[in-house]
Structure 1
Amino acid sequence: MVVELKLAGDHIDRLAAERALLRRQARQVQRAEEHGPSWMGEEPIWVVAAHLPVWLKQARKPVRFAPGCYRVEPLGHLFLWIAANELPLRDDLVPFLVARSGRALDEFARWVAPRRSPRWVLGMLRYLAMSTSVRKELLWEFEKTEDPEIMARDQEIFEVLLAARPQLMKRLLEEGRREARLEGRLEGRLIEARKALRRVLARRQFELSPEDDARIEACGDLATIERWLDHAVTATSASEALQ
């Protein structure tokens, strides 16, 4: 069987389909030469892409016989088009599901990550064009386990990346340290803003309830705390200041 896997961003226009059929025909000739005149088979071809293109719907009237699976007959040659975005999420379909795109690809990435090894997931994150938010979300998942076996595999992956891409790893480490410094400065400003807010409320003789005090402590948005500080100057109660 010839399988043409079209990932997100690959061409799926008519020219791409014709080239796929040409490769199928080359394989058909090869098999006929291998088996001799007695072989009367047909080399099947499956084209896997995120969706069924409009031009193919209009030109060949494909027949849908299962979720995401369409039978197409171009010029007498039967072939199968698989729309990966329409396929159900199943382990035996993972080789086709990688062709998904957009939200469907994000959905697949979240679903498949717990079912595969860290090395497999890192490969997926590297080569598939999922959204940046989902890629970061899955990368953070690597840090949410204390299983010694998984941590050992993570260490192995880190060492492989460090050896294979030292400049990339150096840049990532530098970016991490820079982000840590920025987060540290932000946390310092948050601490000072919380102190100023409590000081104004105390001078106005407003007693904070345990719930309001916990709300101030839990707030990590500097703009919100500064807005509460402005309100505290004219408010008639602590609850009104924290609106």
Structure 2
Amino acid sequence: MSRRMAEVLEDGDIYFLYRPRVGEEHVGSLAEVQRLLVVLHPWRGRRRLRLLVVGRKHLPEISEHARYWAFVESVVDRPEQLSEALRPSRYVTKTRGERLQQAPRPVAEGAYCVTRHDDHTHLAYQLELPRRPGPPQRELDIEPEASYIVTVKNPEAPSPPGVGLPGRGKARLPADLQERFHTRRFAPVDPPRFLDHPGVELVLIGAAHDASAELGIDLDAEVERAARDTIFEELRIGRADRPVAPEITARWR
């Protein structure tokens, strides 16, 4: 792979959360996790918050260059709007009665970059918290630092059976973004405005553990610029009745 320095297209704060399986109050392993969620909060321009859902319950394995599907679930302007999408919910089933869907729980945070590297784009990040990753981070494949090749799927192109969002869930892109596909099924995430549209489908491919060396960027400096006030405090995720922000730890909870 070329070692030419990548161009940073966007940077900001990144947050990782896991949602417990329905009916699970305490999570002790990956088996009790329903979904892995990622929040991207750019530092410049319209500081929207994007909620991404990873198709598997963990990130792609770097060493295997695994390829995972993901999609943009929602895009909001304020943390309190995102909080609405992440709060616990109750619903009734015919066979099991009332069921409780727990709120997602924070598991890691740091800084990210979307970069242009040769003819493709990367999503790279470095964690700030937790200081020392533990079982949750390892089982979710949330590395202390990582880089993924990221592409966006043409919403007008067909998906293989059983893959992708249903028709009504697919993104409706502005003409200038749709034109970037030409006749291709996939395109780089360039510009990152692709991520501002709910229903956009992505493919993440594990690329490198040492994102800074691979892309020629200083992720340490990006982490230093990261917001000191965690978004989890504004979202009140995991607080219960405690008047303090939830602790990001190296333990399941």
Question: TM-score surpassing 0.5?
Answer: no
TM-score of the two chains, using structure 2 as the length reference: 0.20
Q: Which has the higher helix share?
A: 1
TM-score of the two chains, using structure 1 as the length reference: 0.20
